[in-house]
Amino acid sequence: MSPDPLLSVSHLTTVFDTPDGSVRAVDDVSFEIRAGETVGLVGESGSGKSVTALSIMRLVQPPGRIAGGSLSFKGRDLLTLDERTMRTVRGADITLIFQEPMTALNPVFRVGDQIAETLRVHGRASRREARTAAVDLLRAVRIPDAASRVNDYPHQLSGGMRQRVLIAMSLACQPSLVIADEPTTALDVTIQAEILDLLREMKSALHLSLLLITHDLGVIAETADRVAVMYAGRIVETGPVRAIFREPAHPYTRGLLASMPGGRPGRRLLAIDGSVPLLGALPPGCAFNPRCPDRFEPCTAAPPPDYVVGPERAAKCYLHDRQSAVRNPQSAMGTDATR
């Protein structure tokens, strides 16, 4: 794996302008994706995951706008590119698999024509070559009778097949980075497993990098190399998947892991108290503090910075501030006890 990141997201901030002021949907977010690795972006609904994906693709629509930061991809800052140049990157070098295929696919065009258009727009094939390639791509994503299905409209396909068509479109130009935004949300468990297997297989065969966005930690455990945990527009913890699952450093991550099903039969499922705050009405200090069992004095004063908590690991939590821990040893001890 190359030490240089394929994509470096640095201090990305995306806001939505409202009559009451600007709301930060993505707040000072930084992370990296290296060539050939899978990074998971995980968090509850409303945490800013999808807006992060749209920001990377520069597809945020008004009243949303990217207010700051940089997006370095293969050494170029995507935020400095004009829209015409960005179109050559979008769909060819970086592709996005949307979570709802019925809204992502055009209902009045055959799926084969939509795949072929991707190739033709980026100058990868002639009309005839694109048609043949569309059939080959449908076969590659395991759609049976691909030569016939290429003529189907989206409504004639099942949910799993429509998701496979989106994957075929995303891989048509052999991109370096694929962003998969909740690719299995609307599918049943069996089809979810098949789609995840397909993504892993395609990633390995085509040497892709993958940003996998989900709220399902089980998917992250099976698929990702590293994970970024997002809450209320901010990334609160990052690190290798195994290390974070073994010893989560942020109370929010611990809460997510504790709420996963799979414990003793008959045991009541655990849940994090409260709900994700509205982005336009965040509490002072750490946004998680009203729901946090370990909160103490500094938590309501100012948002915590990143603290190094291990090799390639960081967490935004005052429990890892030595001075705060000295002032509040009981909270620090309580955190260790929950690990």
Q: Which residues of the chain have pLDDT under 50?
A: 1-2, 329-339
Residue 9 near residue 71, CB atoms below 8 Å = yes
pLDDT attached to residue 330: 46
Q: What are the residue boundaries of the structural domains of the chain, listed by start? A: 248-262+270-337
pLDDT attached to residue 3: 65
Q: Residue 15: which residues within 8 A CB-CB, separation 6 or more? A: 22, 23, 24, 25, 64, 65, 67
pLDDT attached to residue 325: 58
Burial (CB count within 10 angstroms: exposed 0-12, middle 13-18, buried 19+), residue 188: exposed
* Rg of the chain over all Cα atoms, to the nearest angstrom: 21
pLDDT attached to residue 233: 96
Cα-based distances in Å from 231 to 25, 101, 127, 300: 10, 26, 45, 16
pLDDT attached to residue 327: 54
Chain position carrying tokens 């849940």: 271
Cα-based distances in Å from 18 to 25, 278, 303: 12, 14, 23
3-class SS at 98?
Answer: coil
d(CA 50, CA 147) in angstroms, rounded, equals 34
Q: Could you give the angle at the alpha carbon of 220 between the alpha carbons of 216 and 221, nearest 5°?
A: 115
3-class SS at 210?
Answer: strand
Residue 254 near residue 271, CB atoms below 8 Å = no
Question: If you write DSSP's letter for every residue of 187-241 in order, what string do you get?
Answer: S-HHHHHHHHHHHHHHHHHHT-EEEEEES-HHHHHHH-SEEEEEETTEEEEEEEH
